[in-house]
Each structure stands twice: as structure tokens, then as C-alpha cells.
Structure 1
Amino acid sequence: MLDLEQLLSDLRGLENELNGMGVEAVLDERDDGMPEFHFGEFGGGLSWWVNKGFYLTIWAGDLSDVYDTNIFCEFRHELMRRLADQYEGKAQDTRDTWGRLCGDDTPMPANLAEKADGYERMAERLRDAIKDDGVPVFIDNLADLKLLRQHDPRDLLTDVAGRRLRDMGLVERKYRPGDVFDELTDKGRAAVEYTARTMGISLK
């Protein structure tokens, strides 16, 4: 269960960390005294769940794709992951808009190119900040998640997806006398559980 005093300290630390990166982060207080925050284009707050304690919430836009957790390190990780995705999307949108207006063969003006590059640098800084934070890998490819959820311990993954999952450390090639197969690693099992929980998918 989250401790409110420690949580507020952690949120202030996160606010300072993001502001230091150049992401606009504001920690505020609602009328009921509970914290409310705005990190980039994401908002969120703190909720009290009966018999469960405090939960942190992230939302964007019309409150769709809401994420709830009572584990602060996972909250920090998921917020930064979503912010990184958002900045990468802005970089791509900037380049795509120019391409539609002027054609892909026309060089972008220096100011627009720098704007897109700046978004990408911000995304890279955010991803670097969560690279070694101990939170399991989030599997953002739904086909990969489905493959791992349905993976038979004796299956051999021979396609591009299998090679990618081995490179990520989520499955490991095993050899036995007369047999070869790919087995989920501890990292892979943790990633499946974490991704399913983050996306609200039941593993039962």
C-alpha cells in the first residue's frame, strides 16, 4: 500500500526530473487536497480505493486508455514510456506533414528538421531514464504478446518474431538430446505479466 507522504515526495522528485529533461511537469492539488499532475500532454491524479489504498492514475485526452497502479516505479516507467511514444509520434508527424505538403524529395527547412530531431532526442532521453529501472519489459507488439501468451514450452520459434524475442531476452533457445526448442525466460514471463496487467488483459 502506498504511503501518502512518501508518494508526494516521489511525485515531487519525478516533477523535478521531468522538468530537468525539458518536459513540462506540474504537480498541483485538487480541491479535496489530493495531488493532481500534468506531465507533458498526460494528466493524472491519486485515488483512494477502498480496502486497497492509494492508486496512481495516468490518462490522456478524453480519459481513454487509463492506467492505474499502486507501484510507484511502474507508474514512473509507464508515464515515461508513454511520453517517449508521444514525442516519437510528434517527430514522425512533423516529417509526414512536410512530406504531404512538399513531397518526400524536398528537404525540410532547418527549423522543422531541428524540431523533429528535438522530439526524437527527448524520446531517447526518456527511454534512457527507464532503461535500467528494474521494471519488466513492456511488449508493445500485440502479435508478440499473443505469441508469448500462447507459447508452448516445446515450440521452436523459427521466424523473424522468434529471432526478435530471443534478441530481447524474452525466450531462449534450448537444446536437448534429439530436440531443440525455445523456452520463455524469467524476463519473458515477467514481461508478459507486466504487459497484460498494464493493458488490463486477463491471463486466466
Structure 2
Amino acid sequence: MNEQMPSTPIADRWGMVVDRQPIESNPENYAVVKPDLLVPLEVRGFVTWAAHPEVKFEARLRWGKKFSYILEFVSITSSEGISTSDMHSYSIPKLIAGMATGTVLLPLPGGEEESYVHLEQLLGLADLEAMRERIHEEGPVTNSLLWVGRLYAYGRAVGENPNVLVMSVLDLPQRTATRWISRARTEGLLD
């Protein structure tokens, strides 16, 4: 498995700097989430916000039974101290999402040895537009619903709104995305 974690658009959007500890390549360190994603059972690391580099959060996330991460441990240090009002500028859900993004793996087909790619890397590729066009042309066929399932599971895992993620990445209207999510669930592509 690939241990190199990509930059994370979610963390970048919120002005976070995430320094994760490497995750061992052993498959036993990952949970399988329908339809075919792998998520680490534990994520450890440090987070700072660009606006407050003097404040450092150390966090440990554990994969939970509800198909999302649970914040198991957090420690906050600051060279200048932190007031109660300062604490209101930090978001724990954003901390969890920033830590979790860049860790979800997708198996690549073919080859004798299993290989994986970070889902975020696939979603950042230039041919994302071609994938959208293909999905729009084909409609809710198995391959399209597989991507709906992947995106939904990914959104739920990292703390993003999964419906909105499916809508935005695949450029689908809300009603269409909702119907396709329901259909993916019916076809067993979602937990």
C-alpha cells in the first residue's frame, strides 16, 4: 500500500497544516467500507491553522462503528497560551475532517499484487470532467452508482456532507443525486 499521503483540499480550504504520522502498509490497519474503499483504523498527527501557527493540536482518530472517525484524543499546546474566546475560532469537526482527508485508499484493478491510490488523487485528476460527462451520459448504471457509493462513503468517513459531495463532484442536481444514492444503497454499494 502507498504510504505517501496527498495534499488535502479540505485542509487547504480551511487554512490547516496537517502533519500525519505514517500509516503502516499492513492491510490489517485498514477497514473496508462499501463499496471498495479502505480507511485506516487509526490516524495520528498534528494540526495547526495558518492563522494561528503558535497553536498546535495533537490528535488521534479511531474508525468508528458508524462509518466515520471518532476523536479519541486531542491535546492543545500554544507558545502564547489560549484564551476561551480563542478556542471558539477552532472547529473540532474541521480538525477531524482535515486529519482524515488524504488517508482513504481505493484499490486499483489488474496486476497480480494489489495496489492502491488515494481517492483524493483520483478526484483531483484532469479527467474528472471526462468522468462526469461519462456518468451523465450513462445514467445510473453500475459504474456510475459505484462512484456515487465511493463518494458518499468518503464524505461520511471524513465528515463532509455526503449528499453534497456526490452532487458537487459529479455535478448532479440534488434530486438526481438523492435518487442515485438511494439506488446505490439498494444495490448494496453503501453500508
Question: By the TM > 0.5 criterion, same fold?
Answer: no
- Compare relative contact order (CA 8 Å, sep 6+) and give the higher one, 1 or 2: 2
Q: From the two aligned structures, give the one with the greater strand fraction.
A: 2
Q: From the two aligned structures, give the one with the greater helix fraction.
A: 1
Normalising to structure 1: TM-score of the pair?
0.28
